Chain A
Amino acid sequence: MSRIFRKIVGLGAVALMSACVDPYEVEVGDGVQLLTVEGMITTDPGRHSIQLTRSDTYGSVFEGLVRPVSLATVVVRDDTGKVTYLEEDSEVKGNYLTPEGFAAIAGRAYTLLIQLQNGKTYSSLPEVVAEPVPLGEIDYYSVTFPVEGELEPDSGVRFVVDVEDPGNINNFYYWKTENVMFELNASPELYMDRETRQPAPKDCCAVCYLGENIGNRSMFIATDDDFNGLTSRIPAMFIPDDGLRFITTFRMDLRQLTVSSEAYRFLRLVKQQTELSGSVFDPPPANIRGNMISLDDPDEVVLGYFMAAGESNRRIYLHGDELEYRQPLSLIADDCRVVVGAQENPPADWTP
């Protein structure tokens, strides 16, 4: 009897203890709406963009929304006093573009000046444009990553560039991609009517062209501390394989940017912070100082960095059958045009 009683008491105690567990609500304080500057100008002629936004509370869009900063006066001034006015993009608010054909000049120092609608003025520290370093050979190969519990590993394509580093100066490299596009292969002949669940093959279209903005989530940076004046092969980009990108033809523009030491330091810190994995060896999270400063209140925190870089770039076309390993085909049993952003005809500059 006493044993039974003890068990009941024990179970009751356990039940009471479990009832004491309260869900932990993470309360994030209201975020300060800090001006955030992101963008760069390079030696490559074109329209270079500077994006202005306001930070907000961390969390979902219901907590706070990162808003563009519109109707600002944005200029870039070089060390001779030549001023270039940037024009706000009519389609993307808060995105300010240099005039067509603008190119920074290597060796010159550039300052970004921003005047907001409320009269507040911000300036960047002068950024000296480094000489662009020509892009060497670009090699690419597939790489795989085993995934626990999965038969197929994750994979992607790694791009490696030959950097012929000039020996006379300390160089800091940053690689980015743009104009990523690939042939999107679909099987419209396998289309099934969703209501009748009967085959209803479509005549069109099996091949479309889809542009993407990928590859820049990870940062590919390097300093020539270890290879000053030598030729070295450096991983410059990684594009994950989603089973669609590398079926037939994939293209991208690889930009090799030579940035200032201060910009490199900023990028390295951002890379560290964005690649925190929760390991005990991770660096502690920290507020990364950029190079923007409020002229009205120098103690005001302004996020972001204005970069001025030397640029060399090259367009690469990659054919899927050249890769050793590709993800199993992701089947699109429909007209490829149903995929958001896909276009039937290749753009005029598609020359594989």
Chain B
Amino acid sequence: MRRILALCVLILLCLNWSCAEDEAENTFVVTEEILHLSGDQIRMMGRIISNQQIAVTDHGFYLATDSGFQNPIVVSLGEKSGPGRFVGEANSLESGQIYFLKSFIERGGELSFGDVMELETLEAFIDSYSPSFGSGGADLVIVGGNFTEETQVFFGDQEAQVKSIEFESRLTVVIPAPVDQAIVPIKIVIEGESYEFDQRFEYQAGRYSVISTFPEEIKLYDNVFFQKGSGLYFGLGTSNKQQFLTYFQRYDVESDTWAKIDFPGSSRSYAFFTDNYIGGGTAVLGSNPIVINNSFWRITDSGFQRLTDLPFESRESLALEINQALYVFGSKQLDGPSLWKYEPGSGHWSQLSSPPADFDAEAASFTYQGMIYLIALDQSIWRFDPVLESWEMISVYPGSMGQGYGMAKVVGDKVYVGLFRRSNEMWELDMKTLSWKSKNPMPGYPQSIVVGHFVKGEVLYIMRIPEFTLPGTYPMDLYRFDPEGI
């Protein structure tokens, strides 16, 4: 009886098991989300949903410009085992175009598709760029959106090299060399569409051209230079710091000729000078001992006229003329700052209260609208009012001060400052806005010293010579500097 009962239980169990039906496989694919859409690129996500650990021979996406998917772009991601998400990417789409998207899986040669999504690729746009000022060869970054791989950038008519496109929104390009214009439009061309910034790009300008060479093979140091009409005078000082020059060489800008002009006074180095005066300096070579030349000369149209000797010892002083008066700043013979004023009418020298910084020949200086401006070695720019005898700091020189002894020249409302020893930098200061703009650096050795600088019309004339420590002979080239030249 027990056996029969056990057998019945066993049969019942078997019957129960046989009643359990196999769960039917349920597999489908869905087009889940568009993760990223731009002008030419789409990144999309799909998902295989299944109650089985299935394997597909291929999966991916269909993209087409028509809802019937007649000529689809197939993004094939290959085999996949098991359900789950998948991400596909398509490039080279047309911007501003409507596309239809669906996901697919292929199993046993049979295709299954997910739902269809409609999308429109985006149009490119531009936002900003920086810097708006620079020189050829530097990088420039353009910010916008939906830039494609085929994006072209033009500076005027010059095509720029595109270095990188980050997140289709940040273009880094190499600024092409300028051709003939300093200010050019920046244009971006994407798939034939052109986009132009309102703000134009400005090239760093400043063209240096050699117009002549000093007529002697010497290296002139610690010299005097001044300008009379079209004549640029270079002289006194020493040749190679070994021999005094007793004369001047005059370059005539108009006739492009050189002429030797004798100086009736004694030789000297480290004298102060303007276009009308020469004074002070050292009377003998070397510094042991330092012998000061106290003679003071006026430069006239016909030659040189000696005036009463200086009432103070001057070596490497800085001289400026304004309001028919001569102002002499500092002297290496003195400790601390000093300022002397010479009035030619009376021939009287007076000492004024000391300036706020130790200005001497190391400082660059200029005059503008009745004021004297001096650039101290700490880069601060001071304005001296000769009427009120007051000082005010107005700006800071942004460039390198090198080892001092730079130049500053005024053309209209712009001042060109730079070429301090061991620096080739040239900067433009707009006196109306007190804003700075860098100019192209001067060619040649940075370890150079200014021999002379002049302004005539809208251009500057500059002569530099490598430092005494640089061995060898170097021609003393006279450069014409066009601040706006390209």
The reply to whether the CB of B400 lies closer than 8 angstroms to some CB of chain A is: no
The reply to whether the CB of B170 lies closer than 8 angstroms to some CB of chain A is: yes
The reply to whether the CB of B36 lies closer than 8 angstroms to some CB of chain A is: yes
How many CB-defined contacts (below 8 Å) exist between A and B?
54
Which residues of chain A (78-109) have a CB below 8 Å from chain B? 79-83, 85
Q: Assuming the A-B contacts A75-B167, A77-B169, A81-B122, are A126 and B35 also in contact, with contact meaning beta carbons closer than 8 angstroms in the complex?
A: yes
Report the minimal beta-carbon distance from B71 to chain A, rounded to whole angstroms: 26
The reply to whether the CB of B43 lies closer than 8 angstroms to some CB of chain A is: yes
Among the stretches B22-30, B79-87, B132-140, B440-448, the one at the interface with A is B79-87
Chain A contacts for B423, CB-based, 8 A: none
The reply to whether the CB of A295 lies closer than 8 angstroms to some CB of chain B is: yes
Contact B87 A111 (CB under 8 A): no
Residue of A nearest to B37 (CB): A79
Contact B35 A111 (CB under 8 A): yes
Residue of B nearest to A75 (CB): B167
Chain B contacts for A75, CB-based, 8 A: 167, 169
Chain B contacts for A309, CB-based, 8 A: none
A293 to B32: give the CA distance in the assembly, Å. Answer: 13
Contact A298 B169 (CB under 8 A): no
Residue of B nearest to A291 (CB): B33
Report the minimal beta-carbon distance from B77 to chain A, rounded to whole angstroms: 10
Report the minimal beta-carbon distance from A297 to chain B, rounded to whole angstroms: 9
Which residues of chain A (278-325) have a CB below 8 Å from chain B? 293, 295, 298-299
Q: Which residue from B35, B84, B169 sits with its C-beta under 8 Å from A125?
A: B35
Which residues of chain A (37-85) have a CB below 8 Å from chain B? 75, 77, 79-83, 85
A20 to B136: give the CA distance in the assembly, Å. Answer: 84
Chain B contacts for A123, CB-based, 8 A: 35-36, 43
Contact A83 B35 (CB under 8 A): no
Report the minimal beta-carbon distance from A309 to chain B, rounded to whole angstroms: 19
The reply to whether the CB of A257 lies closer than 8 angstroms to some CB of chain B is: no
A75 to B143: give the CA distance in the assembly, Å. Answer: 13
Chain B contacts for A293, CB-based, 8 A: 35, 45, 85, 87
A111 to B36: give the CA distance in the assembly, Å. Answer: 8
Chain A contacts for B125, CB-based, 8 A: 80-81
The reply to whether the CB of A336 lies closer than 8 angstroms to some CB of chain B is: no
Residue of A nearest to B84 (CB): A299
The reply to whether the CB of A219 lies closer than 8 angstroms to some CB of chain B is: no
Contact B34 A82 (CB under 8 A): no
The reply to whether the CB of B38 lies closer than 8 angstroms to some CB of chain A is: yes
Report the minimal beta-carbon distance from B91 to chain A, rounded to whole angstroms: 14
Residue of B nearest to A81 (CB): B145
Q: Assuming the A-B contacts A75-B167, A125-B33, A293-B85, are A81 and B43 also in contact, with contact meaning beta carbons closer than 8 angstroms in the complex?
A: no
Contact B145 A126 (CB under 8 A): no
Q: Which residue from A79, A80, A113, A126 sits with its C-beta under 8 Å from B33?
A: A126
A123 to B35: give the CA distance in the assembly, Å. Answer: 7
A276 to B98: give the CA distance in the assembly, Å. Answer: 48
Contact A295 B168 (CB under 8 A): no
Which residues of chain B (179-209) have a CB below 8 Å from chain A? none
Chain B contacts for A81, CB-based, 8 A: 38-39, 122, 124-125, 145-146, 168-169
A82 to B35: give the CA distance in the assembly, Å. Answer: 15
Q: Assuming the A-B contacts A77-B169, A113-B167, A125-B35, are A83 and B145 also in contact, with contact meaning beta carbons closer than 8 angstroms in the complex?
A: yes
What is the interface size of chain B, counting residues whose CB is below 8 A from a CB of the partner?
A: 23
Q: Digit string of B71-108 for contact with A (CB within 8 Å is 1, else 0)?
A: 00000000000001111000000000000000000000
Report the minimal beta-carbon distance from A72 to chain B, rounded to whole angstroms: 13
Contact A80 B87 (CB under 8 A): no
Contact B168 A299 (CB under 8 A): no
Contact B36 A83 (CB under 8 A): no
Residue of A nearest to B147 (CB): A81
Q: Digit string of B140-176 for contact with A (CB within 8 Å is 1, else 0)?
A: 0000011000000000000000000001111000000
Residue of B nearest to A78 (CB): B145
Q: Digit string of A161-192 for contact with B (CB within 8 Å is 1, else 0)?
A: 00000000000000000000000000000000
A293 to B125: give the CA distance in the assembly, Å. Answer: 28
Report the minimal beta-carbon distance from A263 to chain B, rounded to whole angstroms: 15
Report the minimal beta-carbon distance from A265 to chain B, rounded to whole angstroms: 15
Residue of A nearest to B122 (CB): A81
A293 to B124: give the CA distance in the assembly, Å. Answer: 26
Which residues of chain B (109-129) have a CB below 8 Å from chain A? 122, 124-125, 127
Residue of B nearest to A84 (CB): B169
A82 to B170: give the CA distance in the assembly, Å. Answer: 10
Report the minimal beta-carbon distance from B167 to chain A, rounded to whole angstroms: 5
A342 to B111: give the CA distance in the assembly, Å. Answer: 67
Report the minimal beta-carbon distance from A151 to chain B, rounded to whole angstroms: 56
Report the minimal beta-carbon distance from A239 to chain B, rounded to whole angstroms: 39
Contact A83 B170 (CB under 8 A): yes
Contact A295 B84 (CB under 8 A): no
A125 to B46: give the CA distance in the assembly, Å. Answer: 12
Contact A295 B33 (CB under 8 A): no
Chain A contacts for B35, CB-based, 8 A: 111, 123, 125-126, 293, 295
Contact A298 B43 (CB under 8 A): no
Residue of B nearest to A295 (CB): B87
Report the minimal beta-carbon distance from B461 to chain A, rounded to whole angstroms: 48
For the complex of A and B, the 9 pairs showing the least CB-CB separation, nearest first, are A81-B145, A83-B169, A298-B85, A81-B146, A298-B87, A83-B167, A81-B122, A123-B35, A82-B145
Taking A123-B35, A125-B45 as known contacts, 13 extra A-B pairs with beta carbons closer than 8 A to each other, sorted by chain A number, are A77-B36, A81-B39, A81-B125, A81-B169, A82-B127, A82-B145, A82-B169, A83-B170, A125-B35, A126-B33, A126-B34, A295-B35, A299-B85
Please name 28 pairs of A and B residues whose Cβ atoms are closer than 8 Å in the assembled complex, sorted by A. A75-B167, A77-B169, A80-B122, A80-B145, A81-B38, A81-B39, A81-B122, A81-B124, A81-B125, A81-B168, A82-B145, A83-B167, A83-B168, A113-B36, A113-B167, A123-B43, A125-B33, A125-B35, A126-B33, A126-B35, A293-B85, A293-B87, A295-B35, A298-B45, A298-B84, A298-B86, A299-B84, A299-B85
Binding site for B on A (CB under 8 A): 75, 77, 79-83, 85, 111, 113, 123, 125-126, 293, 295, 298-299
